[in-house]
């Protein structure tokens, strides 16, 4: 059970990066099929159909902004040397829970539009636990790969996550929409 929240003591670096990229690619494909957009580091939305290239671009933008902000935060706040590959790998793997909302949307729970209140409520209720799990994984990835703990870890993580969310939303709006 511990490895569902913190697998990063056992897996990091290139191995985590490869697994994370594979899961993100699968998430992009299944998300496209189900019209589930991951249009921000923390966002899951249903909506208008989009292309496969847009689905992959959203995954890439989310990963790159998350990695860069977490790595820069680690460099600024860690008292030890951190390896970029460890941050990249653990952050890629931490995005794995987003595959599950994409898969679950093969069932008819995704709303057609915002006026479909019952399905919207179900969709939100299904997605929130996976988003929370992803954030917990991201925090543990950050702590392990950047050698941080305590208030310094919490504050730098929250700041980096907020910046990553804002930047990813802006880049996706400019590049994809």
- Would the pLDDT of 177 be above 60? no
- Would the pLDDT of 4 be above 80? no
Interatomic CA distance for residues 75 and 67, integer angstroms: 12
By percentage, how much of the chain surpasses pLDDT 90? 62
Calculate the average pLDDT of the chain.
Answer: 90
Interatomic CA distance for residues 40 and 38, integer angstroms: 6
Instruction: Give the mean pLDDT of 80-107.
Output: 92
pTM reported for the whole predicted model: 0.90
């Amino acid at each position: 059970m511990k490895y569902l929240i913190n697998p990063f003591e056992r897996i990091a670096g290139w191995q985590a990066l490869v697994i994370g990229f594979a899961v993100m690619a699968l998430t992009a494909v299944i998300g496209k099929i189900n019209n589930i957009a991951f249009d921000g580091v923390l966002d899951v939305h249903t909506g208008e159909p989009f292309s496969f290239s847009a689905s992959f671009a959203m995954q890439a933008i989310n990963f790159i902004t998350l990695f860069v902000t977490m790595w820069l935060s680690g460099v600024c706040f860690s008292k030890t040397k951190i390896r970029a590959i460890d941050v990249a790998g653990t952050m890629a793997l931490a995005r794995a829970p987003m595959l599950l909302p994409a898969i679950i949307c093969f069932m008819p729970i995704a709303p057609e539009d915002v006026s479909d209140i019952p399905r919207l409520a179900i969709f939100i209720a299904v997605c929130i636990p996976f988003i929370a799990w992803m954030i917990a994984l991201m925090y543990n990835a950050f702590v392990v790969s950047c050698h941080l703990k305590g208030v310094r870890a919490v504050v730098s993580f929250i700041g980096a996550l907020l910046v990553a969310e804002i930047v990813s939303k802006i880049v996706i709006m400019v590049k994809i929409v």
